[in-house]
Amino acid sequence: MPHWLARLAARLCRLGQPAPIPDDLWRATLLGHRFLARLLPHEQARLRRLAAHFLAQKEFTGAHGLQVTDGMAVAVAAQACLPLLHLGGARRPEQALALYDDFVGIVLQPGPAIAPRQRQDEAGVVHRYAETLLGEAMPGGPVMLSWPDVAAADAQALRGSNVVIHEFAHKIDMHAGPADGCPPLPAGFMGARSAREGRLHWHAVWQGAYERFCERLALAERFGAPAPWLDAYAAHSPPEFFAVACEAHFTAPERFALEHPDLAAALKAAFRQP
């Protein structure tokens, strides 16, 4: 465990509250992530508190000899907590961390991970293959992240790409059950009179957007039409479409709202953004 995180964990055991993230670590995190630095001062303070509680609750492990530093852990925590920024109470924003309460471990890899996979086709034939992963969020299990891709977050933000937000969006999606591309929705979501009505509205908006995205991607790949702005991986499934959309919404919100105003409005309502 990195030096400062060890002290933080000890303080939590004694007092029930984590120590604040040191000023130098927090400044370095903001300077290294322009999409965090542009938050308003009160939002930065709220994010800092969320990240400190997150770090006190989670355990970081470096795979294959990778040494996890305090700076690495704080960078992951700040990005993981960004979607939660407005979800907790005014006095206790850390209440929102309940969305991440199904796991403790975060594994940082020194590069993309290779995972063995198998798939059975309609004829019953089992196909075995290897998949390259930049990150993975397992139901009830740890989050795995490729550190070089986490470290590139600032450079990738203009493209709406962020591996941390992607994997933690999956965790949010999985909170109430199997991932289906719909996060827990607040009461009265976009004028809904019931939770069922809210989910129906969400799926109507997102399913249509997903199908249009897949059609545009197919036209681009087959006939050379202009490619959609979102990462092509979003076409893999509705849950992946949601996770990729979250990446873009939280790192390049202006461009995402220009490309997908209906999805941007739904995400702002779901995450209670002003």
Distances (CA, A) of 216 to 156, 219, 224, 229: 23, 5, 10, 10
10-residue block means of pLDDT along the chain (274 residues)? 57 64 97 98 97 96 96 98 95 95 96 70 63 86 96 97 98 94 96 96 97 97 96 97 98 98 98 96
pLDDT of res. 13:
44
Nearest to 167 by CA among 185, 187, 155, 153: 153
Rounded CA-CA distance 93/69 in Å is 25
- Phi–psi pair at 6, nearest 5 degrees: -65, -40
Nearest to 263 by CA among 197, 198, 209: 209
Answer yes or no: CATH 1.10.8 is held by domain 180-274. Answer: no
Cα 149-155-160 angle, rounded to 5 deg: 85
Nearest to 165 by CA among 178, 150, 182, 179: 150
Rounded CA-CA distance 243/160 in Å is 11
pLDDT of res. 204:
96
Q: Spell out the residues 6+ positions from residue 95 whose beta carbon is closer than 8 angstroms to its own.
A: 87, 88, 89
pLDDT of res. 189:
96
pLDDT of res. 14:
47
Amino acid at 140: G
Fold of 1-154: Cyclin A; domain 1 (1.10.472)
Angle in degrees, 0-180, between the axes of helices 163-174 and 238-251, rounded to the nearest 10: 130
Alpha helices in 16-158 (DSSP H): 23-31, 34-37, 41-57, 70-81, 147-151, 153-156
Amino acid at 4: W
pLDDT of res. 162:
98
Per domain, the residue ranges of the chain are 1-154, 180-274
Q: Which residues pair with 145 in a beta bridge?
A: 108, 135
Q: Spell out the residues 6+ positions from residue 38 whose beta carbon is closer than 8 angstroms to its own.
A: none
Cα 217-220-224 angle, rounded to 5 deg: 175
pTM for the whole structure: 0.91
